[in-house]
Structure 1
Amino acid sequence: MMRGGLKPSKAATAETQQIADQVKCQLEEKENRQFPVFEAVECRTQVVAGTNHFIKVHVGGDEYVHLRVFQSLPHENKPLTLADYQTNKTKDDELEYF
């Protein structure tokens, strides 16, 4: 995979869920609401100067959100950051770059 390209979608793993969980409070603060359901279901990654994790998260009912979480390089020792997100998504919406 060339650097900068978005890898194909794959099912979320326990590691994906941990990444989503670490930025959940950032999303709740930005959206000014709580998400009692927060289940990562799909993910893609992009290698940049660190890694962008694109994660589709089920937040209850038929509602999904797409997260872009930035993970800095290990030697930088920085926390995960919710770089961007999209709301009003469905189960069938493609997880694309945003």
Structure 2
Amino acid sequence: MMAGGLSEARPATEEIQKKVDQVKSQFQKKSNVECTEFKAESYKTQVVAGTIYYVKVHIGNNKYIHMKIVEPLPHTNNPLELLDYQCDKTKDDELVYF
């Protein structure tokens, strides 16, 4: 992967699910979307000053969202942050830069 570019899509891991869980309340507060599920399905990464995760999340009833989560460099001691999200996604929608 080139620095600054997006990685290939990979199946979500337990570590990615934990990151998604950590920003779930930020998503719900910003979007006012009710979720019956909140399961990370796949993800891509972008290495910048920290790591940005683009994650496809199944939120129930065949609905998906794409989340953009930043994990700052460790020395900053800053928490994970939900930078952006996209609603009305499908299982087949590709994760892309946004």
Q: TM-score, normalised by structure 2?
A: 0.97
RMSD between aligned residues: 0.7
Q: Which runs of 4+ in 1 moved over 3 A?
A: none
List aligned pairs for 1:1-98, cutoff 5 A.
1-98=1-98
Pairs aligned (count): 98
Please give the per-residue CA displacement for 1:30-56, whole angstroms capped at 9, x wherever unaligned. 112332300000000000000000000
Letter in 2 for 1:97: Y
Q: Tell me, which stretches of 5 or more residues in structure 2 are unaligned?
A: none
Counterpart Cα distance in 2 of 1:38 and 1:28: 11
Counterpart Cα distance in 2 of 1:50 and 1:62: 32
Q: Tell me, which stretches of 5 or more residues in structure 1 are unaligned?
A: none
Counterpart Cα distance in 2 of 1:14 and 1:60: 19
Letter in 2 for 1:86: Q
The percent of aligned pairs where both chains have the same amino acid is: 51
Which segment is superposed worse, 28-37 or 72-81? Answer: 28-37
